[in-house]
Structures are given as C-alpha cells and as structure tokens.
Amino acid sequence: MTVLRRVVAGLVAAALLGVAMWLTHVAPHIEGRLQDPIPNGGHAGKIVTNRVFSVRVDRVDVARSIVTHTDIVDPKKNERITTPGIFVIVYLSVRSNQRPVGLGHVRLTTHSGLHYAESGRDGLLTKNEGIFEPMLWGNASYVFEIPKDQLKGAHLIVGQSDSLNQLSAEADVDLGLDTGSADRLLAHPTDDYKLRDA
C-alpha cells in the first residue's frame, strides 16, 4: 500500500469517526423533537382548535403593578406587587373537544424566541376551572412577568397538563401585539391592576 493510499484511508477513517460522533450527539435531540407537542396556530379573538381542546384569547392587559389584597377602608393599605418590567395578563376561554382536559405547559413566547413561564409570585396565581369539559366553555387567566422590550410579537402557548406531554396537543396564539399595539399598551401600563375573575 502506497503512502498516498494510507493517508487517504486515514482521512476517510477520521471523517467517518467524526460523523459517527456527531450523529451520537445529534440523533437523540432529533428524536426528542419528533416527540414534541403538536402546535396549532391562530390569532387572539379567534378560536384555535386542535384534536384535544380549543382556546380563544379574549383579552390581553398590561400592568406595572398588581393589587393582591384590597383594603376598602384605607386604599393606601392595599397590598401590591410591582415589577421592573411589565405584567402581561392573558384571559382566555377554553373547552375540551373530546374528554375532560387540564391545561399546562403554558408560556409566553416573544419575538426574540425567549419563553416566559407564568409568574411564580405569591398572589399571582393562575385562575382557571381546573378541568375543562367537552363542548362547555370555561375561563382561565395567566399572569406573566416580562421585560418591556419583549412584548411586541408575543405568542401564548398552551398545552395539556399531562405529565408526559409528548405528542400532545398545543395551541400557539398570536396575541396581535404588533409594534403599534405594543407601543400603545406600554405607553400607559395600568398601576394597581386588579385581576379579574377568569
């Protein structure tokens, strides 16, 4: 075997080894993504339906602070939560399409690809009816805390509450927050916002 053939054989072997190592790193991620929830997209104000449930975003509010306890006698004693960014409060209607279903894996996705889970602050609990029944509309609301510059282009993503969420259904709702509407909301975020019933 000539020196040239040995060099070529060595390069081919090294290339094959590199490809094999790359595949062992990439293949599990590809397989994992094949099991991701299946999203159906839509827009705020419209019903977004998948095989398991339907949602409709009815309202989106923005607040600088949220009142968690109201003192009717002395409003100065109201308990409030403030944020350096903004609170985004999303109200939606939900119904199951087949069997009772709970919502979960809820997040706000921004134009830059960041995902924000619900605010974990005490007093800012998600309000929903828990389990949604077939063909009956129920209500839910979610509170997110995000930087102001992430509001434009935000989407609400809602999935099932199943612990094994693979190949389950999701709704991806465009909240309709283009530059103009996001700027209008950010120009006058509500102070001392009171969460509505879901």
The string of pLDDT tens digits covering residues 46-77 is 999 988 899 999 999 999 988 877 666 666 66
Other C-beta atoms closer than 10 Å to the C-beta of 162 total: 15
Task: Answer with the residue of higher pLDDT: 73 or 171.
Answer: 171
75-110 pLDDT, tens digit each: 666 778 888 999 999 999 999 998 898 888 889 999
State the pLDDT at residue 34. 46
Q: List b or e across 63-101, with b for residues whose CB sees 16 or more CB atoms inside 10 angstroms.
A: bbbbbbeeeeeeeeeeebbebebbbbbbbbbbbbeeeeb
Q: Are 98 and 134 in contact (CB under 8 A)?
A: yes
Written as six digits, the tokens of 137 are 């509309």
Task: Answer with the residue of higher pLDDT: 60 or 122.
Answer: 60
Residue whose pair of structure tokens reads 């935000």 in the numeric block? 154
In the chain, the largest separation of any two C-alpha atoms, in whole Å, equals: 97
State the pLDDT at residue 176. 92
Helix, strand, or coil (residue 103): strand
- State what percent of residues in the chain have pLDDT above 70: 79
Q: Is the pLDDT of residue 12 over 90?
A: no
State the pLDDT at residue 126. 67
Q: Is the pLDDT of residue 40 over 90?
A: no
Helix, strand, or coil (residue 12): helix
State the pLDDT at residue 47. 93
Bridge partners, 96 (sequence order):
53, 134
Task: Answer with the residue of higher pLDDT: 25 or 81.
Answer: 81
Using a cut of 0.95, tell me whether the model's pTM lies above it: no
